[in-house]
Structure 1
Amino acid sequence: MKKLSVLAAGLGLCALAIAADADRVSVVDPYVRLAPPNAMATGAFMVIRNAGERDVRVVRASNPASRITELHTHLHENGVMKMRPVPAIDIKAGGEAVLKPGGLHVMLIDLKAPLQEGGRLPITLEFADGSSLRVEAPVVRPTAGGMPMNRP
């Protein structure tokens, strides 16, 4: 019986050591920018916090509103700001990644239908370890400064 207890305790510690990345991550202030009429793309923004003791990587995102979902960033090239896909978004242990206009973001490309202001869009973040986290992001109208109005 003693051997069984030691084995069970060891397995429990192993389970703690290999907890899924999604279990260590929280998302704060998610939102999707309402796209202008006839626009076929928009962005989703949020703060992703890693409370764990190891770095995590978001390697993919998905949602039901667009045919293509990519992780993106903005780059300055020869005085021109351009959006480019990135293979992953890294979040350091105990740190955070801020996804915001003009920086890292989730790009929703080829929208299937116009998004509705005040609606909510589920976005699934997928991590390098295969775990995932679903986020409910409200759809909000941007202000002139780029930040949304009436953000919940």
Structure 2
Amino acid sequence: MRILQFVFAAALTLVAFVGAQAHSYRVGEIQIGHPWTRATPPAAKVAGAFMSFTNEGGAADRLVGGSSPIAEKVEIHTMEMTGGVMKMRPLADGLEVAAGAKVELAPGGIHIMLIGLKQPIAEGDKVPLTLTFEKGGDIEVELAADKMGAGGKAQDHGSHGHGESKKTDHSTH
């Protein structure tokens, strides 16, 4: 009986370890941590993707693009408050991850935009996303879909909702 308990405990530990490892990725010298997105309303055409990049190498690398089968295109965006208006714009040259640096992609700041969604994203979905780094190349990650409005100080990026105290300028898309 003890052997069976040991085997069962070992199996549970392995499942927990594999599950934890599945949400961390590595491409070249870049460690990618906890990629996630938010659930979207049924008619949403865009969604944000968030994660962290840690460059463990001695030279900078740059996130230059990406793709996803659920979106027409993928862009790297920044959000900035200018004169009381939240402005989003694509980063034309991509996103540098300096040697030894950690860059957080988060709601209300730098993020990845999934544009032209082909289907809504539901809480609990696993959304495939391929990231392209200048030096490290391509890596396929899986975005864990959290609930609408999760994880941040910003409004729900997927629906481009408008808060009472902020205006959003969509002319930069």
Give the structure-1-normalised TM-score: 0.77
Q: Distance in 2 between matches of 1:29 and 1:142?
A: 17
**Does residue 137 of structure 2 align to residue 131 of structure 1?**
yes
Per the alignment, in what secondary structure is the counterpart of residue 90 of structure 1? strand
Letter in 2 for 1:67: E
Instruction: Decide which of 99, 106, 110 is 1:93's aligned counterpart.
Output: 99
- Between the aligned residues of both structures, percent identity stands at 39
Give the structure-2-normalised TM-score: 0.68
Instruction: Decide which of 105, 126, 131 is 1:120's aligned counterpart.
Output: 126
**Does residue 70 of structure 2 align to residue 65 of structure 1?**
yes
Residues matched between the structures, number = 127
Q: Distance in 1 between matches of 2:131 and 2:52?
A: 12
Alpha-carbon shift at residue 92 of structure 1 (Å)? 1.0
Per the alignment, in what secondary structure is the counterpart of residue 94 of structure 1? coil
Per the alignment, in what secondary structure is the counterpart of residue 67 of structure 1? strand
Please give the per-residue CA displacement for 1:107-128, whole angstroms capped at 9, x wherever unaligned.
0111001112211112111111
Q: Distance in 1 between matches of 2:136 and 2:88?
A: 26
Unaligned runs of 5+ in 2: 1-25, 154-173
Please give the per-residue CA displacement for 1:48-73, whole angstroms capped at 9, x wherever unaligned.
11111101100101111111211001
Instruction: Decide which of 103, 109, 125 is 2:109's aligned counterpart.
Output: 103
Change (3 A) 1:53 1:130: closer
Q: How does 1:1-152 map to 2 (within 5 A)?
A: 22-87=27-92, 88-129=94-135, 131-143=137-149, 146=152
Per the alignment, in what secondary structure is the counterpart of residue 102 of structure 1? coil
Asked if the contact 1:89/1:97 (under 8 Å) is kept, the reply is no
Q: Which moved more, 1:34-43 or 1:50-59?
A: 34-43
* Runs of 4+ residues over 4 Å off in structure 1: none
Alpha-carbon shift at residue 45 of structure 1 (Å)? 0.2
